[in-house]
Chains A and B, each alone.
Chain A
Amino acid sequence: MLGFILRRLLIAIPTILMISVFVFSLQKLLPGDPVLAMAGEERDPATIAFLRQKYHLNDPVPEQYARWVLAAAHGDLGISLRTNQPVLQLIEEKLPVTIQLAIMAMIVALVIGLPAGVLSAYRRNTWVDWLSNAVALSGLSIPNFWLGIMLILLVSVRLGWLPASGYVSPWVDPWRSIQVMLMPAFVLGTGLAASLMRHTRSAMLGVLKSDYVRTARAKGLSERSVLVKHALRNALVPVVTVTTLLFGELLGGAVLTEQIFTIPGFGKLVVDAVFTRDYAVVQGIVLCTGVAFIAMNLLADVAYRLLNPRMRDQ
């Protein structure tokens, strides 16, 4: 197992390189002109020419990429064309926020999704099943912006229970930090819970009918132990797949939810960067999300092996 993880970590470096080439070239293919948008309303030609030169935008794309990679290898991710801030600093600011929101949202999703999935499979075709399905699917269909704005109007404006915005780092004020993140994590989490619930339910339905659950029951084990120890464990492969993917996506930033609750995470940063063609910022964030997805996929593959020890590498 350790060898497997090490090998995968080694492959991660070329993978990251490949991702960065892919995204870099994609960005250079985009229409629009970063300098034109940056030049200001007056669009002074001399300034435009200078900026093009300053950011090496006239050079061939491979050369631009090589320059970026070399600097990145030395820990310099460049500066934002839009705000002149170092990209590394932007990432240092946003990454903890994004991670915190992702973790809290995932907790919400797991706490709702897993038990609901298990229960509705177990109590199939009863009101429990129907209710969990309806709730899960509404969580999926209700747009995040709608739920978010409604929550702000109700909880913050009308009731005054939670702040509507104003991110605070957990190192500064843990209690307030959790308070501020509660609503966004709930909004994101309920959307994801639907996926987890549906996958758990489906996989559990399959497993509950299988021989080893029958055997476990025949052995006289308690229903609870049958459900959790035998059935759930065997049902988890698709759930793990989906969970790790969703978590990776969360680490890429949740644009709408961040905007509604004014949370300074990756989502808004990357959208603004794409729209202003702030390529250094995009590259920097993609680097992070790339690492996140690689880590998540690795985590999933490790989890598969733990769940099903026979699923070895060939």
Chain B
Amino acid sequence: MKRHAFTLGLASALVVMGHLAHAADLRIGLQDDPDTLDPDQGRTFVGRIVFAAMCDKLVDITPELKIIPALATGWKWSDDGKALSMDLRQGVTFQDGEKFDAEAVKYNIERSQTLPESRRKSEVKSIASVEVNGPYSVTFHLKAPDATLLAQLADRAGMMVAPEVAKKEGDKFGLNPVCVGPYKFQSRVAQDKIVLVKDPNYYDAKDYHFDKVTYLPIPDTTVRLANLRAGDLDMIERLAATDVKSAEKDPKLVVKKATSLGYQGITFNIGNGAMAKNPFGEKAKLRQALSLSIDRNAINQVVFNGAFEPGNQPFPPGSKWYDKAFPVQPQNIAEAKKLLQEAGDPHPELTVQVTNNPVQMQLMQVIQSMAAQSGIKIKIVAKEFATLLKDQTTGDFEASQIGWSGRIDPDGNIYSFVVTGAGLNDGHYSNPQVDALLNKARLTTDDAVRKQSYDAAQAILLKQLPIVYLYHPVWIWALNKKIEGFTPYPDGMIRLKGVKFAG
């Protein structure tokens, strides 16, 4: 034991010296400690950030959200939209040396579907079977056309884990993950750090410039920034919006931003149990009045120092799926009061539950104060997330301030939340017209046709307001100036291709 410690000490001394010598170690500060590092079981955003350097996907996205080749070099839809064929990259190995081929892809999709602990089931639900056409060619046969599938394969469902290891480890795979990817898993200490080292056999190894990448969870934003300033970190994700100005002033730092795919909003209980019988659950006019009372630009200025993006739809205003016929409305207290009068309820009361994080509490207090101007009395109930989620699914809420991290495909931001009986429709909103439009949008890969369906659905939803959208977060990274080649992506991931230290 003692000797073990001694050799460890020696090794770490060497590591420290090595660090000084060529300093090709990248240290990234994360906001949270990731959950299990199994792409099929992972569910946290920070976990995806680690995967981005460790587990390649079949396809990837550009910052403009175009799907581009990754482990799949090309793909083709059948005419009926029920089969997707892919050609796979050749000469690729998993981080343990195992060969990557069509069989591995088949195994991976089936693992996402059948591993009992899999959190990917709904993402690959449309796949009926995977056919191996050749060593580097597969076809996904679908139950019905699914326009969202490629986007799913650009995320965790499309990450390829090493079949032999996964078979052996089962649900414990995340303790020692092996994928195809530029950096392989080395070690993890919960709440402390995750260490990845470069895989020299990675097919594109020349574009990755660090020997080691360490992720350190540091939940406090002020502290995360202080660590970056002190030089203990090279890069941090989710810089607080209110810290942007001071970070931009720091000559040693660079700030990068990208509007996220997600949103924050207020979900109303419209038909989920007895609590739905409240004025706001029953009358769309009250919801409209609340939405009109909210000054979304002021929220952005007050809570986020103007760094985020105000919004009123599930897609940010810059997205091609955003319906320009319904721009973000300015605050209109007079109109809101009129609506309340029409609804026969000039002083309604609403209880809104909110996660107990300081920023969301601040947001709700701003909204509370705005709503009071038109006579709406909001009561804020802070809950920790586990309770909030439970109360939301069981219908034990009037309204809930909650958000969505966002998906590449528009379907992922809207379908599950408003279609009758869909998985995340906690307010139990139900409208056959909306159901029909959103189901139709899934069947075609023609974006123009899909946009028509989404626009038509928006026209209804923005009147009924089962969800009042508030804003779209902006991902903000702060980097040491010596880092070159970092590209911000709207999915908030940190892609390390081409990223390196200057000089």
Contact = CB atoms under 8 A, between A and B. Distances in A.
Interface of A: 31-34, 36-47, 50-51, 54, 80, 82-85, 90, 93-94, 145, 149, 152-153, 156-157, 160, 163-168, 171-173, 259-262, 264, 268-269, 272, 275-277
Interface string B101-143: 0000000000000001111011100000000000000000000
Interface string B376-413: 00000000111101110100000000001100000000
B175 interface: yes
Contact of A42 (B33, B123, B220, B227): B123
Given A39-B43, A42-B122, A165 B190 contact: no
B43 A38 contact: yes
Contact of B227 (A32, A93, A165, A275): A165
A152 B190 contact: no
A38 B130 CA distance: 28
A166 B434 CA distance: 52
Contacts of A275: 384-386
Contact of B220 (A39, A93, A260): A260
Residue among A33, A40, A272 with most chain B CB within 10 A: A40
Contact of B218 (A31, A54, A80, A165): A165
B386 A276 contact: yes
B230 A164 contact: yes
A156 B121 contact: no
28 contacts: A31-B390, A32-B387, A33-B389, A37-B386, A41-B43, A42-B122, A42-B424, A46-B121, A47-B119, A50-B117, A80-B190, A82-B36, A84-B174, A93-B190, A94-B191, A145-B220, A149-B220, A156-B232, A157-B226, A157-B230, A165-B218, A168-B12, A171-B9, A173-B16, A259-B220, A260-B223, A262-B218, A277-B386
Contact of A47 (B121, B191, B230): B121
A167 B423 CA distance: 42
B418 to A, nearest CB: 15
Interface residues of B, number: 55
A259 B116 CA distance: 34
B171 interface: yes
4 residue pairs, one from A and one from B, having the closest CB atoms = A32-B386, A40-B43, A264-B192, A40-B119
Contacts of A164: 223, 226-227, 230, 232
B222 interface: yes
A41 B405 contact: yes
B226 A272 contact: no
Nearest to B405: A41
A152 B223 contact: yes
Contacts of A157: 226, 229-230
Contact of B189 (A82, A93, A165, A172): A93
A36 B390 contact: yes
Contacts of A83: 33-36, 174, 190
A94 B232 CA distance: 22
Nearest to A260: B223
Contacts of B239: none
A137 B231 CA distance: 34
A12 B9 CA distance: 37
B219 interface: yes
A276 B33 CA distance: 12
A221 B192 CA distance: 54
B222 to A, nearest CB: 6
A84 B122 CA distance: 22
B71 to A, nearest CB: 23
Contacts of B8: 171-172
Among B8, B41, B119, B389: residue with most chain A CB under 10 A:
B119
Contact of B190 (A40, A42, A90, A149): A90
B5 interface: yes
Contacts of B189: 93, 264
A115 B115 CA distance: 62
A37 B385 contact: yes
Nearest to A167: B192
Interface string B455-496: 000000000000000000000000000000000000000000
Nearest to B9: A172
Contacts of A43: 393, 423-424
B360 interface: no
A114 B210 CA distance: 50
B320 interface: no
A84 B175 contact: yes
A54 B191 contact: no
A165 B193 CA distance: 11
Interface in B290-344: none
Contact of B389 (A37, A45, A50, A153): A37
B76 interface: no
B117 A85 contact: no
A193 to B, nearest CB: 24
B191 A272 contact: yes
Contacts of B23: none
A272 B8 CA distance: 30
Contacts of B219: 259, 268
Nearest to A45: B423
A163 B230 contact: yes
A32 B390 CA distance: 5
A156 B33 CA distance: 23
Given A149-B220, A172-B9, 9 more contacts: A38-B43, A42-B122, A82-B36, A83-B33, A156-B226, A173-B13, A260-B220, A268-B219, A275-B385
A36 B43 contact: no
A166 B36 CA distance: 22
Contacts of B167: none
A50 B191 contact: no
A90 B192 CA distance: 11
B172 interface: yes
Interface string B1-23: 00001001100110010000000
Given A84-B171, A165-B216, A264-B192, A33 B390 contact: yes
Nearest to A176: B16
B226 A152 contact: yes
Contacts of A260: 220, 223
A32 B384 contact: yes
Contacts of A54: 116-117
A167 B223 CA distance: 15
A36 B389 contact: yes
B286 to A, nearest CB: 28
Interface string B403-439: 0110000000000100000011000000000000000
